[in-house]
Amino acid sequence: MESRFSTEIKVRFAETDAQGVAHHAAFFVWLETTRIEYLARFRGGYRELREKGIEALTLEAYVRYFAPAHFDDVLTVSARAGDLSGARFRFDYEIVRGEEPVAEGWTTHATVDSKTLRPTRIPDWLVHAIEQAEARG
């Protein structure tokens, strides 16, 4: 996956078991953290969506694990957004420790009206911003 956005995550002690290995569920938190930071680059990010009465619900989440992450590891989580269609969009992720692949995954989302929870189109300003960011090389 070629990504133009990444963030670093340091594995916290609370995210690990007695052997210092990160629990599988922590990976989903890292994906969410990366996704929110990705969106923060555009206008008001997720906060602005919420202020405009739009929520971005997670429909699906998947992670494939290649190697364990350990307490105090510094991981790089890369994200790429795409498949923007109507109210739906997708993020693809890679998690590495240095050059070593640790995991990969994806999440799919739908934008909905925060009061009715009915699907609503992704705002044009956000679609345009994401398409521009992903097209840049």
Helix (H) or strand (E) holding 81: strand 74-85
What is the reported pLDDT for 135? 87
What is d(CA 12, CA 132) in angstroms, rounded to the nearest whole number?
34
Given 17, 72, 83, 113, which residue is catalytic? 17
Helix (H) or strand (E) holding 55: strand 54-65
| pTM as predicted | 0.92
What is the reported pLDDT for 34? 96
pLDDT, averaged per 10 consecutive residues of the chain (137 residues), comes to 85 95 97 95 88 95 98 97 94 97 98 95 92 82
What is d(CA 122, CA 116) in angstroms, rounded to the nearest whole number?
16
What is the reported pLDDT for 3? 64
What is the reported pLDDT for 4? 77
Beta carbons within 10 angstroms of residue 60's beta carbon = 9
Q: Which residues lie across from 57 on neighbouring strands?
A: 110
72 tagged catalytic: no
Q: Which domains are delineated in the chain?
A: 5-135 (3.10.129.10)
